[in-house]
Structure 1
Amino acid sequence: MTRATRNGLVTVLTWVLVLVFFFPVFWMVLNGFKPEAVASSAHPKLFFTPSTEGYRLAMDRGMQGYLINSVTASVTATIIVVVLAIPAAYALSIRRVKNVEGALTFFISTRFMPLAAVVLPLFMILKTLGLLDNVYVLAVIYAGVNLPVAVWMMRSFFLEVPFEIIEACRVDGAGLGREIFRVALPLVLPGVASAALITFIFSWNEYFLATLLTSSAARTTPPFLGSFVDGRGQFLAVLSAASTIAALPVILAGWVAQKQLVRGLSMGAIK
């Protein structure tokens, strides 16, 4: 088999895999524009008369408020994570603290325990303090859940900064703040953008905590989407329309930050 044949087969296989993984998303968007009777039919139809009834019904059920809660919780959590992860990652990479391995192990070990094991004590604490159904408390919890991953990611990016640059700025008399934010941070900004985007996506898609720690005032979009499936039916057209709306912010965020994301995820691949 020649190289051209192998490359052609790899290209065809890649496109097949892309289409297989993309088809459910395409079908979801398509169902959002179908009338409910057509979307729920046992015989799927590719050609139909488009309708925006699903989007109207989704908004009539108050989706706008859930979207605002999701944006508030996700953006707040992302800001908290970035603010805390940058100095933590810098201390664990360039300005080495004592027992770095132990600190890194502690950070990542917090992700080993399943959320189901901690949600009950967390629920009781928040209930005692009167902090249940609070979107900013939910954002702080999201930040705590995602902070270890962000620290590990940013540390790997800071490790790629040539130490000679850090030594040069220290010789010039730069303080710690300038050393971090004026010298090292601009060099790893793509990596910081990658960690921030991943934190935002994880927070936006989180379902378990948002369902158990909120009821109405702070409920986010994922539990709202689950409410479309009940004993009366699945309401597939409305659910597809609502899911399409819910996916748009993440898609737009990824599209805006795609250059930084690709650069950040590829940092360190080639020395």
Structure 2
Amino acid sequence: MSASTAPPTRTPATSKKPRPSGSARRRSTALGLAAWAVGIVFCLPALWMVLTSFHSEADAATNPPSLAASLTLDGYRTFFGGDGGPTPWPPLVNSLTASVFSTLLVLLLALPAAYALSIRPVRKWTDVMFFFLSTKMLPVVAGLLPVYLFAKNTGLLDNIWLLVLLYTSMNLPIAVWMMQSFLADVPVSIIEAAQVDGARLPTVLGRVVAPVAAPGIAATALICFIFSWNELLFARVLTGVVAGTAPVHLTTFVTSQGLFLAQLCAASVVVSLPVLIAGYAAQDKLVQGLSLGAVK
């Protein structure tokens, strides 16, 4: 009688990840340190601007500058009109008005155009995209004189709504190019399902396409807002007392009496805050939008 032998049990082999070698770890550490060094170098001017904004004019003008100088809020107090100077609120409101309204107009016009060029492509859509891109090849200063003459003859000089129209036309090609790539990744099946249910084009754009492409739309809106907020050339030439924007207001700190460096740094910090706040609030959508379609 032969004894039944049980089959030998095999212990599953545990897969061990290969540990990086010493040279690989040193290379990774060196690359990390280099990335931090580059990031600090790029942030140093902004950090120095913030620090200088809390110095007095005498300490800000020293050469070499002093890191141990006493801190004060005189620059911010002067910027906000605490010493009887001009108040910055009208330029800030003008910049906010021009940036917000132009960004909304750009989105309203770019979304249908991008839809036609991506999801429902028109004939020779590549030629259309090249036409949009060609509008950015002309230097902005080359169109300054015709725009100035147009504004003068139509009575639109020193009018904030002229800047709204100009910023809309300047940002529209960029918005169409960006949103066309975003909308190209929207599944056509959900659009066709909405159309089968009887949804018309405005409903499809507002309730189907816009929610799916929300990260891309947010990234486009933020970039258009930044471009409009920072624009100086047209605002400097076409505006005066009534419609002057925040970048134009910053130029008033460079006078014949000299450069008020501490006040200029304080004003620059305040003017930069709306863009930083908007970028921080939409940072998740911005990252999703700029990386949309990167991995297929």
Alignment of 1:240-255 (within 5 A): 240-255=265-280
In the alignment, the residues of structure 1 paired with residue 176 and residue 259 of structure 2 have an alpha-carbon distance, to the nearest angstrom, of 40
When normalised by structure 2's length, the TM-score is 0.89
| Residue 32 (structure 1) aligns with | 53
Alpha-carbon distance in structure 2 between the residues aligned to 1:166 and 1:72: 34
Residue by residue, what CA displacement relative to the aligned partner does 1:42-96 show, whole Å, maximum 9, x if unpaired? Answer: 1211122211110111122321211111111111111111111111111111112
Question: 1: CA distance between counterparts of 2:200 and 2:138?
Answer: 39
1:270 is paired with a residue whose SS is coil
Equivalent in the alignment of 2:109? 84
Q: Which moved more, 1:147-156 or 1:216-225?
A: 216-225
1:211 and 2:236 matched: yes
Aligned to 1:9: 30
Residue in 2 aligned with 1:197?
A: 222
Distance 1:6 1:184 in 2: 45
Does residue 188 in structure 1 map to residue 213 in structure 2? Answer: yes
Stretch moving more, 40-49 or 65-74: 40-49
User: Which portions of structure 1, spanning 4 or more consecutive aligned residues, are displaced by more than 3 angstroms?
Assistant: none
Partner SS state of residue 206, structure 2: helix
Displacement of 1:27 in angstroms is 0.5
Q: Given the alignment, which residue of 131, 137, 142 partners 2:156?
A: 131
Matched, 1:108 2:129: no
Matched residue SS, 1:191: helix
Summarize deviations over 1:184-231 as a string: whole Å, max 9, x none. 211100000000000000000001111011111111111211221232
Question: What is the alpha-carbon distance in structure 1 between the residues aligned to residue 270 and residue 171 of structure 2?
Answer: 24
1:148 partnered with 2:169: no
Moved more, 165-174 or 117-126: 165-174
Residue number in structure 1 paired with 2:71: 50
- Counterpart of 1:28 in structure 2: which amino acid? M
Residue 115 of structure 2 is aligned to residue 94 of structure 1:
no
82-91 or 224-233: bigger deviation: 224-233
CA deviation after TM superposition for structure 1 residue 2, in Å: 2.3
The answer to whether the 8 A contact 1:133-1:219 is kept is yes
Amino acid at match of 2:224: T
> Share of identical aligned residues, percent?
46
Gapped runs of 5+ residues in structure 1? none
* Aligned residue type for 1:267: L
Quote the Cα distance in structure 2 between the aligned partners of 1:162 and 1:72: 35
Asked if the contact 1:76–1:136 (Cα under 8 Å) also holds between the matched residues in 2, the reply is no
Q: Which of the pair has the greater relative contact order for Cα pairs under 8 Å at 6+ separation?
A: 1
Of 99-108 and 152-161, the range deviating more from structure 2: 99-108
Q: In the alignment, is residue 238 of structure 1 matched against residue 259 of structure 2? A: no
Query: Is 2:197 the partner of 1:172?
Result: yes
Structure 2 gap ranges (5+) = 1-21
* In structure 2, C-alpha distance between the alignment counterparts of 1:173 and 1:142, rounded to whole Å: 36
Q: Between Structure 1 and Structure 2, whose CA radius of gyration is higher?
A: 2
1:221 to 2:219 alignment: no
Cα distance, 1:171 vs. partner? 2.9
Partner Cα distance (1:88, 1:6) in 2: 47
Structure with higher helix content:
1
Number of equivalenced pairs? 271
2:288 corresponds to 1:263: yes
Letter in 2 for 1:22: C
TM-score in terms of structure 1 length:
0.97
- Give the Cα separation in 2 of the matches to 1:18 and 1:139: 35
Alignment partners' CA distance in 1, 2:196 and 2:100: 38
> What displacement does 1:179 show?
1.9
